[in-house]
Structure formats: C-alpha cells, structure tokens
Amino acid sequence: MSDRYSVFTAPRGGVMTSEVGVITGELELHTGAADDGTLTLRVRYAGAAEWYTIDGGPYRLHDPRDHEVLHEVVVNLLHRPQP
C-alpha cells in the first residue's frame, strides 16, 4: 500500500466526513492506495491524532500507479480559492 499526505485549508463549507459531519480549518489529507486499486481518503485536523473518512465511496483506482496524481487532484480540489 502507498500513502500520501498533504496539509491544506478547507474550502468554504468544509469537508464532509462520515463520522463527524463537516470539518473546517487547517486539515491534513491522507490517501492510501492498495495494490488492488482500493483507495482510502481520510482527513484530520492538522496535528491531531484522529482521522475521519471523507464521505462517499467506496473509492477505487483503475490503476494503482495513478495514486500520486489522484492525491494531487484531490488536494487541489479541496484547497481551491473560493469566490
């Protein structure tokens, strides 16, 4: 399994999680990709211990080699400037 991590500021409206609903502020994204393409997307408050599952899914990559690119796309979507 490969793992990627990035810190970002949540967009207006925050990020919806399965466990606690919307979280906002400075967050850390974790994406993990298994050899079979299974993908995990989690966030936590930057520096906190507890991770939350991003609402939606299940997530799967057609090719696990796409993990790095997908991680960057998700970070950019979550961190894009708001009008």
- Which tens digit of pLDDT belongs to each residue from 5-46? 999 999 889 999 999 999 999 999 999 999 999 999 999 999
Residue 27's region, left for phi above 0, alpha for psi from -120 to 50, else beta, is beta
pLDDT of 9: 93
- At residue 52 the predicted structure's pLDDT band, cuts being 50, 70 and 90, is very high
Q: What is the pLDDT of residue 82?
A: 66
Name the residue with tokens 């708001």. 82
Instruction: Report how far apart the first and last C-alpha atoms of the chain are (Å, whole number).
Output: 37
pLDDT at 58: 86
C-alpha to C-alpha distance for 51 and 70, rounded to whole angstroms? 19
